[in-house]
Structure 1
C-alpha cells in the first residue's frame, strides 16, 4: 500500500514491509558488511516487518524506534537519536557499530567521502543503474540521514530515508551507500505501508 500524502519523514510511523519487486538486491551490500552467505540467504527469503514509532528521550532529543521482526525469530529494536551525536551499539547482524542520525531539510550536504555517483544516488537524482529519479514531496521537506560505521570490520553505511513516487504510487524508500576500503555498493529499499 502507498504511503499517505500527509505523512512526513519526521512523523513516519506505522508498519512497513519491504517491497522486494521494487527494491534493489541487498546481497552485495550485506556481503561487503561481512554478513555470512547463509545469513544473507535467510534474509533474502525472509519477510521482515518494520514497526516505526517516535518518542522524545529524557534529554529532549527526537528518537525513531524501529522494531524489526521476521528475521531469525524474535524482534530487534533499534533507536535512531536525531541529534547527530555518535551512539555505540551492538547489532546482531552488523556487530559493534557507531551510529549518527539527523533530520535535514531539502538538500544533503556533500561530504569529502561522497563521490559524484554516491551523492547523486543518496540525493535520489539517480537510481542504482544511473536512471534519473527524484524524491517525492515531503510535507516538511525533510529527510533522515544515518551513518553507521563498524570500525573493526572496516565498513561504513550511509543511508537517507525519504519518499519516492514509483509507478504512480508514493513509497517510503531508503537509499544506502556501503563503503569498505575502495569498494562501494549502492542500493535502494522500497517499503509497502500497511498501517
Structure 2
C-alpha cells in the first residue's frame, strides 16, 4: 500500500512492511560481512517480510533535537522470540551515539538525526542516498541514521549509513530507506529498502504487544 501524503518525515508513525519485490539491497551479502552465520542468514532469507511499527514523538513545546524521537519495533518472521526484547527501541534525533547489544553481531553504536536539504547535499555519502526524494521530504528534512560495529568489543569493523524518506516508485508514494554499507574490508554495498504502508490503529498496538519480535540487528539493516 502506498503511503498517504499526510505521512511525512515529520511524523512517520505507522506500520511498514518491507516489499521484497521493490527493494534491491543484497541483504545476505551484508549479513555475511557482519559475521552472521550461513544458517542464520538462510533462516532470515526464507522467512516472511520484516514488519516495522514506528511511533514518531515530538514534544510540541520544544525545538531541542532531544525532544524528537522515534520508537521502533520490528517483527521478523523466522527469528526466535527468545531473542526478543521487552520493549521498542527508542531513538532520539540528536546525533549522539548510543551503544546497543544485538543477538547476532554483539555490540554496536548507533545515532539518528534530521538533515535539511542543504545539509544532505553536503553529506559525504554516495549520490544515490541523496536522490529521488519527494519535495516534502526535502522540505521537512530526511532522517539520517548511522550504525557501526564496536571494534573495542570485537566487532568486524563495518558501517551502515541510511537516509529515510519518501519517493515515488512506479507511480506510488513509498516510504524508503537508501542504504550505504561499508564492510570490514572496504566493501561498498548500496541499495534501497522499500516499504508498504499501513496506518496505525488499535489493532496495530494490540499486535505490537503480542506478536512483536524486537530484533535490534534487523533494525540496523531494515530500519
TM-score range, shorter chain: 0.7 to 0.9
Scaled by the length of structure 1, the TM-score of the pair is: 0.83
Q: What residue in structure 2 maps to residue 93 of structure 1?
A: 104
Kept in 1: contact 2:3–2:197 (CA 8 A): yes
Scaled by the length of structure 2, the TM-score of the pair is: 0.73
Cα distance in 2 for residues equivalent to 1:41 and 1:79: 29
Unaligned runs of 5+ in 1: 125-133
Superposed, 1:2-13 pairs within 5 Å as 2-13=2-13
Q: What residue in structure 2 maps to residue 54 of structure 1?
A: 56
**Count of aligned pairs between the two proteins:** 179
Cα distance in 2 for residues equivalent to 1:106 and 1:37: 40
What's the secondary structure of 2:165's corresponding residue? strand
Q: What residue in structure 2 maps to residue 142 of structure 1?
A: 141
Cα distance in 2 for residues equivalent to 1:31 and 1:176: 16
1:137 Cα shift? 2.6
Kept in 2: contact 1:137–1:163 (CA 8 A): no
Unaligned runs of 5+ in 2: 200-223
- Give the alignment's Cα RMSD to 1 decimal: 2.0
1:43 Cα shift? 1.8
Of the structure 1 ranges 159-168 and 71-80, higher mean CA displacement relative to structure 2 is found in: 71-80
More helix by share: 2
Kept in 1: contact 2:16–2:195 (CA 8 A): yes
User: Per-residue CA shift, 1:123-176, capped at 9, x if unaligned?
Assistant: 12xxxxxxxxx1123264311101101032211111110111111000000111
1:102 Cα shift? 0.1
More strand by share: 1
Superposed, 1:112-191 pairs within 5 Å as 114=125, 119-124=126-131, 134-138=132-136, 140-151=139-150, 152-180=155-183, 181-191=185-195
